[in-house]
Structure 1
């Protein structure tokens, strides 16, 4: 759904009007139209009149983009987090420059790699599933239409055997080399259990040349306790790595600057609620400002320039925070909408569609933070 933030373009101040296909007219006099002006106005076509009105918005966009581009240069301190397979890449932006680190130990990625084995198997066989839901404990939670969309191949086909055997070869190599990886004993055991169970499922399915949702869920359900062990080790590694980095950067920028720190976490939509890095970071920030200064920025794909994307969006948010109170000084509810995620027309649209009236402004998320805003997380 188009929102105010998505509607405002990112074209430069010079090129915005040209990009939209029209140019702004010279400024008109501030006084009401005179007879001469009225006569001149009557000579323009309807399209020319519309274009002159469109140009007003083009001018706004141009001015807005210019302010934002300049504001980006002054954002400091900011931490930008790019969620990735390694636990996240963190970049500290200050007036003196930028520095980036991947603070999470390899245990995080290794533990998650093996925990993803059932999903890896599923991704190979899913399109060959029968499109009828069998008698499973969670059958009522499976949408029949969604299953039909996923199971788009012939369930009598055996085309899944070759790719599943190829994945099994990868699992076999990992299982053989697992003892040499130097993982903690409990993690080595859980990884071994997951790999063994997956290979058993694959071998049985290939030999029988058939599988179903029940046989797969028997396998995936059997390794769930081991997946939890892997999740525990991954979480421990991530918490320690992120907290240590936040402590280091807090000491570097100083307490006064840290109190006004902005954190922008770039994530995919599927992980944008209770994002793992957001949960850890919030308790390392100023508790009084975390609700407004910790920003989850979900997207569909990783942007080509993550740092610029984060700072560009943060500049929009910061300047809108100030604009909201000055453009709408007589309506704090509309001001809150400009400062937040609502479209400014949402309230009026709800009223006209026969809703209950005024829309409820959703405030920025709040978190259970330490009153002193200290890091690390207190148990």
Structure 2
């Protein structure tokens, strides 16, 4: 039988070169799949994940119907809207917080309302105030975007002043508790005076604004006290009633999902209150703070969809990754499954936990987020 070497030896050099080139081309073509074959293969691989996601979504959609009992909290201007779902049925939706929660916060927000008008016109004034080093200069540049000397703040501030003046005039007939009335009157009166003064002068500075804000801060603290008391009373009263309604056994397995925007998701007020009423052995896994970019159009559906994902991942973690408990814990929590591997490859470490144990921090009188103790 002729070998490749022997065969080449019987042909001319030119013929051999031609044959060799053709043979190599054929070999290369057979070794490297065509581009269409490669795409088809990769698409087939992608379809594996698409199939998983389809199965996962089907399970989640069915699981939503079986989640029970669940309380969904929507943070809003009146202290929160609460929905109880039990045995797949929406039992009740309630705004349980007394009205003076909203009224107290409304007046307490006045300094922020004035600042929001003036902020774009700050120019170079901020470095003249105490604690200016705490302000990111780049953030300031983006907020203070108006040309120095621009008087565009006068018209919107006068409009807000009209709103404040109306509230001040009608305040005596709002039938507020005495201390709350006094604090609201103080905040409104000082705000009107401040606006009148800077509008008359056609200019403002942050030192004067800070003096105004400091002068009403004690009254703002009074309003905060009233608002907090109203929220605690309203929420705890509702939790007690619902606990009696569904019974102790169901309540011990209660899930609570609290929807909020990112800026209020840490130490959310509703979460702080509700956690005390839950089964303490499960509160760490059954009370879920769900930050959103903005209030969803269907908060109930969003809350249930996310809760279903959490519940099924909790079970899947122990079933799929029972050979690696660290990975299982990642699937059960907020971590991405690749987090540890990425940290390992880049030589990094996970950031420190942002919150301390609730009970520990509370007992120490420190903020669970910052660990700082409030100044007395």
Is the 2:265–2:291 Cα contact (8 Å) retained in structure 1? Answer: yes
Aligned to 2:83: 91
SS at 2:358 equivalent: coil
Which one of 175, 178, 190 corresponds to residue 168 of structure 2? 175
Aligned to 1:333: 326
Distance 1:244 1:298 in 2: 25
Distance 1:362 1:62 in 2: 34
Structure with the larger RCO, 1 or 2 (CA within 8 Å, 6+ apart):
1
**Alpha-carbon offset, residue 360 of structure 1:** 7.9
**Alpha-carbon offset, residue 159 of structure 1:** 1.2
**Alpha-carbon offset, residue 354 of structure 1:** 2.0
1:1-379 → structure 2 map (5 Å cutoff): 45-95=37-87, 97-98=89-90, 99-355=92-348, 359=350, 366-368=357-359
**Alpha-carbon offset, residue 145 of structure 1:** 1.6
What is the alpha-carbon root mean square deviation over aligned residues?
Answer: 1.9
- Structure 1 spans left out of the alignment, 5+ residues: 1-38, 370-379
SS at 1:368 equivalent: helix
Q: Which runs of 4+ in 1 moved over 6 A?
A: 41-44, 360-365
SS at 1:311 equivalent: helix
Distance 1:257 1:89 in 2: 21
SS at 2:359 equivalent: coil
Distance 2:223 2:201 in 1: 31
* Bigger-Rg structure (1/2): 2
Aligned in 2, Cα 1:88/1:154: closer, same or farther, shift over 3 Å?
same
Distance 1:365 1:64 in 2: 33
TM-score of the superposition, structure 2-length normalised?
A: 0.84
Is the 2:101–2:226 Cα contact (8 Å) retained in structure 1? Answer: yes
**Alpha-carbon offset, residue 143 of structure 1:** 1.8
TM-score of the superposition, structure 1-length normalised?
A: 0.83
- Structure 2 spans left out of the alignment, 5+ residues: 1-29, 361-376
Distance 1:82 1:146 in 2: 30
Number of residue-to-residue matches in the alignment = 328
Deviations 1:215-265 (A, max 9, x none): 111111111000000000000000000000000000011000000000000
Is the 1:243–1:280 Cα contact (8 Å) retained in structure 2? Answer: yes
Is the 2:119–2:143 Cα contact (8 Å) retained in structure 1? Answer: yes
Deviates more, 1:143-152 or 1:291-300: 143-152
SS at 2:348 equivalent: coil
Aligned in 2, Cα 1:235/1:361: closer, same or farther, shift over 3 Å?
closer
Distance 1:364 1:186 in 2: 34
**Alpha-carbon offset, residue 137 of structure 1:** 2.0
Aligned in 2, Cα 1:200/1:160: closer, same or farther, shift over 3 Å?
same
SS at 1:86 equivalent: coil
Is the 2:257–2:289 Cα contact (8 Å) retained in structure 1? Answer: yes
**Alpha-carbon offset, residue 355 of structure 1:** 2.3
Distance 2:60 2:313 in 1: 10
